[in-house]
Amino acid sequence: MPAFLKGNFAVENQAHCGLTTESFRDEGHFAIVKRRIRKGDIVLFQFGHNDQKLSHLLADREYRENLRRFARETREAGAYPVLVTPLGRNIWDGDGRYLDFLDEHARAVCRVAEEEDVPWIDLHGFSVDFIRKNGMGYSRSFFHPEDYTHTNEYGACVFGEYMAGRMSELFPGILKARKGVADFVPPDGLWEKLGLGGRRTDSGSQREQFDNMEKSTAELLRVLRKAKGG
């Protein structure tokens, strides 16, 4: 995102793989953020992919309340919270229909933002439109090999540019979108030319198990059905 913004600012990414709105707080990561918040800072929150794997963190349960708490505590610290809907996955069924498993969480983000009068960015809507427009095959070039959730550098540029544009609209007195940045378009057959990468190792922790589920559609569907009681 910083590549597409100009102005005097710094970006610090406190995200870690496999975390939820619950574990991000329980493992002490939000405490780190709170210690470093200064008046006037902008703090972005984007969760959902891992929350939906646990029944108590479904969209209409603690997920929503955890986001609300993040927003309120950030505002109390004198900073500006921004809620971001979860990035869409590149998942389709056998008949060529796009499968949107994150719509409920995206709508929950919108609801909390409206209720708390907090700005929000619809990364979910933009990314899903992008994936649907380009189809499963070409969209695959914007994600890591054998992975339909985590973007590679090409995807990071596409969605980072969108985020930068929305941030400049929300905070015009602080940030401005950078114009004329070169397009990052992946070559045809990107992963076939480079060879597929291997899967990440798994130490057995919940966060790594959740992270690895994003590389197996069958495993993800099994976990999502279990979380919803199906």
Q: How many structural domains comprise the chain?
A: 1
Task: Report the pLDDT averaged over residues 46-70.
Answer: 96
pLDDT digits (tens, 9 = 90+) for 131-185: 999 999 999 999 988 889 999 999 999 999 999 999 999 999 889 988 766 677 8
Task: Report the pLDDT averaged over residues 85-95.
Answer: 94
Radius of gyration of the chain (CA): 18
Element containing residue 161 per DSSP (H, E): helix 153-170
Amino acid code (one letter) for 186? P
Range of the domain at 28: 2-227
CATH number of the domain to which 81 belongs? 3.40.50.1110
C-alpha distances (whole Å) from 66 to each of 47, 57, 59, 63, 90 are 10, 9, 11, 5, 26
pLDDT bin (cut points 50, 70, 90) of residue 198 is very low
DSSP 81: E
